[in-house]
Amino acid sequence: MVTSSELQEQVANVVKKLTRSVVNITTTRLLPSVFLLPVPVKGVGTGFIIDDEGHVVTNAHVLTDVRRAEVYLNNGEMVEARLVGKDPWTDVAVMKIKGSDLEPVELGDSDKLSVGQFVIAIGNSFGLAGGPTVTFGVISALGRHIRTERGPLLAGLIQTDAAINPGNSGGPLVDLEGKVIGMNTAIIPYAQGIGFAIPINLVSKVAKDLIRLGFVRRPWLGINGVDVDPKMARHYGLGVSKGALVVNVIRGGPAWQAGLRSGDVIVAIQGVEVKGMDDLIGQIWEETPGSKVEVTVVRRGKLMKLNVVLGTTPSY
């Protein structure tokens, strides 16, 4: 049994270790004034070093439409930085910095998390001087899907009650062993105790693609669909009241080759229930191009299981 004093000491040690790997990001955007003249607007964000080569991950939205980005180490030193790449669909971006004695974080395994687990969020809240802000909480839920104001669906997120404030975007969410298990990304305005982080396994996968290829290889099923609701199910006689109704199958694509057809209702991927398109997208994005997934569908009232080899999302 861990005492409160031992827990406090453990948290303090984790923070001491992690702050050396956390960087502050200050950005400048040009936005039109009321007279339609460009006015520089400052923004702040957070990032953390992931390898000895100086690669830093942060949120893609932190670097969207910026004219200038400055990166500061924990000691206040501004270091040279360049953008390696960014992926708005997962809200992950990678920068590369130059500096001496850079200390990367230790990455955990976000597939092994549990609801109720203690976590620590570190970030540059509101751009306040005096070092990063630290908050403490628990994992409230796993596998959350949310749509942001920027449009893309963020899938499979970690929900936490550790306070995440403006400026925390891109900062690490860590466990009590000091391992990074997520990257802070979003809050729900006017809601208390609800913040979200991108699982570190996804961040790592996206970062590797951006560093190696300059873009992200995203798994592709090859269908267009809509959410099934009880009213739709009754009207069309679908036989199920929730799932993802396949409206169109891309001819020659992975789903087509596996035998999916328009009118099928996808109810599970790899045995995990699909309640709608957000669930479907989130579960597909957890896979990799070339992997085989079991897709459970309802076709004319009958349950079927099809094996689909996922492709790579084409660029049109």
DSSP 13-73: HHHHHHGGGEEEEEEEEEEE-TTS-EEEEEEEEEEEE-STT-EEEE-GGGGTT-SEEEEE-
Q: State the chain's mean pLDDT as an integer.
A: 88
Using CA atoms, how far apart are residues 87 and 34, in angstroms rounded to an integer?
31
CA angle 243–249–250, rounded 5-degree value: 140
Kindly tell me if the per-residue pLDDT of 135 is higher than 80.
yes
Question: Six-digit token pair at 148?
Answer: 């942001």
Are the beta carbons of 54 and 60 closer than 8 angstroms?
A: no
Block residue for tokens 């004695």: 101
Residues 195 and 171: their CA atoms lie apart, in Å, by 12
Report all structural domains of the chain as residue ranges with CATH numbers, in order of start.
4-97 (2.40.10.10), 106-212 (2.40.10.10), 219-312 (2.30.42.10)
Per-residue pLDDT reduced to its tens digit, 43-84: 888 999 999 999 999 999 888 888 888 899 988 888 888 999
Residue 188: pLDDT band (50, 70, 90) is low
The number of angstroms, rounded, from the C-alpha of 13 to the middle of its chain's C-alpha atoms is: 27
Q: How far apart are CA 171 and CA 164, in angstroms?
A: 9
Q: Return the structure tokens found at 130.
A: 């005096």
More confident residue, 31 or 212: 212
- Greater confidence, 125 or 67? 67
pLDDT value at residue 270: 94
- What contacts 238, CB < 8 A, 6 or more positions away? 228, 232, 245, 265, 298
Residue type (1 letter), 144:
R
Percent of the chain residues topping a pLDDT of 70: 92
Q: What is the DSSP letter of 80?
A: -
Active site residues: 61, 91, 169
C-alpha to C-alpha distances, 103 to 19, 49, 131, 204, nearest whole angstrom: 10, 7, 17, 17
pLDDT of residue 139 exceeding 90 = yes
Asked whether 228 and 286 are in contact (CB, 8 A), the reply is no
pLDDT tens track for 274-313: 999 988 988 898 888 999 999 999 998 899 999 999 999 8
Residues 214, 219, 225: CA angle, nearest 5 degrees? 130
CA-derived radius of gyration, the chain: 22
pLDDT higher at 260 or 151: 260
Nearest to 57 by CA among 87, 78, 79: 87
Report which of residues 127 and 161 the model is more confident about.
161
Residue 316: is its pLDDT beyond 50? no
pLDDT band at 168 (very low <50, low <70, confident <90, very high): confident
Assess whether pLDDT exceeds 90 at residue 93.
yes
Whether the pLDDT of residue 125 is over 80: the answer is no
pLDDT of residue 150: 59
Distance CA 172, CA 157 (A): 14
Q: Each residue of 198-222: pLDDT tens digit?
A: 999 999 999 999 999 988 888 999 9
At 147, the amino acid letter reads R
Q: Which of 116, 105, 60, 102 is nearest to 83 (CA)?
A: 60
| Of 148 and 123, the one with more pLDDT | 123
pLDDT at 123 over 50: yes
Q: What is the pTM of this model?
A: 0.81
- CA nearest 93: which of 101, 103, 85, 81? 85
pLDDT in tens, 223-270: 999 999 898 888 888 889 999 999 999 999 999 999 999 999 999 999
Please state, in angstroms and rounded to a whole number, the distance separating the CA atoms of residues 222 and 244: 13
